[in-house]
Chain A
Amino acid sequence: MTRRVWIFGDDIDTDVLAPGIYMKGPIAELAKHCLETVDQRFAPNARPGDIVVAGRNFGMGSSREQAVMALRELGIAAVLAKSFAGIFYRNAINLGLLVLICPEAGRIAPGASLTIDTASGWATDAKSGETFAFEPLPPHLMAIVADGGLLPHLEKRLRSTRHAEKTT
């Protein structure tokens, strides 16, 4: 499946991802303002399955998980960035957002139509045929993302443990 991309620069911070003045309200409302101070077109036009492409230090700033939740709410399938801020990176995995370190992210063109192979670590632009290498997530982190985040992942594990206890 090919995906549309939204291109952003370096140092995208948590205040532009999840503005403080909307933090009191529900996530659906907050998500409408996600990244509006850098690109007003993004939140109203982002579609489920779209990909965010960015430069260095994506998600710098606050520990607020709403920065991740807003992207999830908009249906963003993955963020490919040259690098991520530490707290954001951990939050993203804990909430099931695919975050991929892609040193070549700067070469991805605004009109690209990407396919992502999480196992091999290659993103391909279906239009130009260009490929971009990213660091695949280690399997134990990929499993958390695949389950939708740490909480559903833990629930699943608890269920299977309880099931195993019952059947033995």
Chain B
Amino acid sequence: MPQPMTLAEKLVARAAGREAVRPGEIVTATVDLAMMHDSGGPRRVAPMLARLGATVWDPERVVLVSDHYVPAVDTESAGILDLTRKWAKSAGIARFHDMQGICHVVLPERGHLRPGMFAVGGDSHSPTGGAFGAYMFGVGATEMCGVLVTGEIWLRVPETILLEWQGRLGRGVVAKDMILAMCAKLGMDGGRYQAIHYAGEAVAALPMPERMTLCNMAAELGAQTGLVAPDATTREFLVAAGVPESGIETARWQNDFGAAAAERHVFDAAALAPMVAAPHSPANSGPAAEQRGVRVDQAYIGACTGAKLVDLHMAAEVLKGRRVAPDVRLLVAPASTRTTAAAAADGTLATLTEAGAILLPSGCGACAGYGAGVLAENEVCIASTARNFKGRMGASSAKVYLGSPYTVAAAAVAGAIRDPREFLP
């Protein structure tokens, strides 16, 4: 009888061509998909490939997304985007998404992910792919160059940290609140560069975009990846994204009965309140009510973490029939062009703009200080993004609070942080 394995171990074993693996072993895995963007991608790896006299091992396994410097605002960013386009052509990368949205959202939206895959991304929020039962993690440009040349990468087989959410979330409480609560409890290195597995009734009840929020911020827990075991919800999303039904395996990609997690932490979903992370760390989180009255200059709904269609729906629920407070600016950067199209079609965009929201291009934007919406000295912002590190969103004296789209929209309307449930029917 084979030893029981966790989902993470099964994914790594398959990619390493092994029957079984044990945590701590160092293995070499075959990469099914390598994702890069304009910032850490061609402009960094092209000179390295040239230096080695090497070419991409398999252009069909590469996905390239321009999302950081979009649209260009000066000659430097225009040059980076131009270089990215030219490299895509010369390297024969067919799956190139130029200014179509943020890589972590575009990837599943265009049907590039499926359960069982082993994937790397040149971006730290690459664990987002774990929401689909894929083993996906972030790497730097040199490491990516190695993958592009060999199609392989080494890793230490991770331990599994099980984060189990029992019960059901209350009204106005969402995945962002769950992950902020986990950051507060476990700290920014609680994931120990191991594999996090989110499970339990509340996780199983989440739609895919919300599972993506959990896995995306496995990065903030310091994990290598964050996983949710695939199920009927996964299958439904992927089929809608154009993945052939026959290519979606869910039964195989589960924790085996009796598989040992190195750690298990249990959370009570029903007891969770909307959360806010105070400056300058996602781990600095507590109930939004405790920050009630903190005045904001800017409310930002954007980034891979917090501007998917469900996120815009949350904001619209709060903003419907209301106006953004005077002296507050609400900026909304939908995560992808398809998100924008869907939000236009269902009336969400109109609700946002009627309330006074200003629409920005789909891209990484102000979240990491790359695009429109950066902050001046001493300004205060509340954002649906993943990180509020000092100086990340602009001036180093600026203060950034993090919350769910509900909480960001509520602050935009009130001009100060509130528990968003005050604004929900």
Q: Interface on A for B, CB 8 Å cutoff?
A: 11, 13-16, 19-21, 23-25, 36-38, 56-57, 60-65, 68, 83, 85-87, 89-91, 94-95, 149-151, 154-155, 158
Tell whether, in the assembled complex, residue B52 and residue A24 are in contact, meaning their CB atoms are under 8 Å apart: no
The 4 closest A-B pairs by CB, nearest first: A86-B193, A20-B369, A91-B140, A94-B142
In the complex, residue of chain A having the shortest beta-carbon distance to the beta carbon of B364: A20
The distance in angstroms between the C-alpha atoms of A63 and B368, with both chains bound, is: 12
Q: Interface on B for A, CB 8 Å cutoff?
A: 39-40, 44, 48, 51-52, 69, 74, 76-77, 80, 122-124, 126, 138-143, 145-146, 188-189, 193, 219, 222, 224, 281, 368-370, 374, 387, 389-392, 394, 396
Tell whether, in the assembled complex, residue B188 and residue A60 are in contact, meaning their CB atoms are under 8 Å apart: yes
* In-complex Cβ contact of A11 among B124, B188, B396 (8 A): B188
Tell whether, in the assembled complex, residue A154 and residue B390 are in contact, meaning their CB atoms are under 8 Å apart: no
Tell whether, in the assembled complex, residue B369 and residue A63 are in contact, meaning their CB atoms are under 8 Å apart: no
Tell whether, in the assembled complex, residue A85 and residue B189 are in contact, meaning their CB atoms are under 8 Å apart: yes
Tell whether, in the assembled complex, residue A62 and residue B124 are in contact, meaning their CB atoms are under 8 Å apart: yes
Tell whether, in the assembled complex, residue A151 and residue B51 are in contact, meaning their CB atoms are under 8 Å apart: yes
- Contact partners of A150 in chain B: CB under 8 A: 142-143, 146
A57-B188, A62-B368, A83-B189 known; A19 vs B391 contact (CB < 8 Å): yes
Tell whether, in the assembled complex, residue A94 and residue B224 are in contact, meaning their CB atoms are under 8 Å apart: no
- Contact partners of B146 in chain A: CB under 8 A: 94, 150
The distance in angstroms between the C-alpha atoms of A94 and B143, with both chains bound, is: 7
Find the residue from A11, A62, A68 having the highest chain B CB count within 10 A.
A62
Nearest-neighbour CB distance to chain B for A155, whole angstroms, equals: 7
The distance in angstroms between the C-alpha atoms of A20 and B123, with both chains bound, is: 14
The distance in angstroms between the C-alpha atoms of A10 and B371, with both chains bound, is: 28
The distance in angstroms between the C-alpha atoms of A36 and B390, with both chains bound, is: 10
18 A-B residue pairings within 8 Å (CB atoms) = A14-B124, A15-B392, A19-B369, A19-B391, A20-B392, A21-B369, A60-B188, A60-B189, A63-B126, A65-B44, A65-B142, A68-B140, A85-B189, A87-B139, A150-B143, A151-B51, A155-B52, A158-B52
A24-B77, A86-B222, A155-B52 known; A15 vs B140 contact (CB < 8 Å): no
- Contact partners of B126 in chain A: CB under 8 A: 63
Instruction: Known A-B contacts: A61-B389, A87-B140, A91-B140. Give 17 more (CB < 8 A).
Output: A11-B189, A13-B389, A15-B368, A15-B391, A15-B392, A16-B390, A23-B39, A37-B390, A63-B122, A64-B140, A65-B140, A65-B141, A87-B124, A90-B140, A91-B142, A150-B142, A155-B51
The distance in angstroms between the C-alpha atoms of A65 and B48, with both chains bound, is: 13
The distance in angstroms between the C-alpha atoms of A60 and B389, with both chains bound, is: 10
The distance in angstroms between the C-alpha atoms of A145 and B82, with both chains bound, is: 33
* In-complex Cβ contact of A38 among B48, B77, B387, B390 (8 A): B390
- Contact partners of A36 in chain B: CB under 8 A: 396
* In-complex Cβ contact of B143 among A25, A60, A90 (8 A): A90
In the complex, residue of chain B having the shortest beta-carbon distance to the beta carbon of A83: B189
Find the residue from B281, B387, B390, B392 having the highest chain A CB count within 10 A.
B392
* In-complex Cβ contact of A56 among B74, B138, B189, B224 (8 A): B189
- Contact partners of A56 in chain B: CB under 8 A: 189
- Contact partners of A61 in chain B: CB under 8 A: 124, 219, 387, 389
- Contact partners of A95 in chain B: CB under 8 A: 140, 142
- Contact partners of B77 in chain A: CB under 8 A: 24
- Contact partners of B145 in chain A: CB under 8 A: 151
The distance in angstroms between the C-alpha atoms of A87 and B127, with both chains bound, is: 12
The distance in angstroms between the C-alpha atoms of A63 and B122, with both chains bound, is: 7
A65-B44, A87-B138, A90-B143 known; A151 vs B52 contact (CB < 8 Å): yes
In the complex, residue of chain B having the shortest beta-carbon distance to the beta carbon of A85: B222
The distance in angstroms between the C-alpha atoms of A14 and B125, with both chains bound, is: 13
* In-complex Cβ contact of A15 among B51, B80, B224, B387 (8 A): B387
The distance in angstroms between the C-alpha atoms of A56 and B191, with both chains bound, is: 13
* In-complex Cβ contact of B48 among A37, A62, A87, A151 (8 A): A151
A16-B389, A64-B39, A83-B189 known; A91 vs B396 contact (CB < 8 Å): no
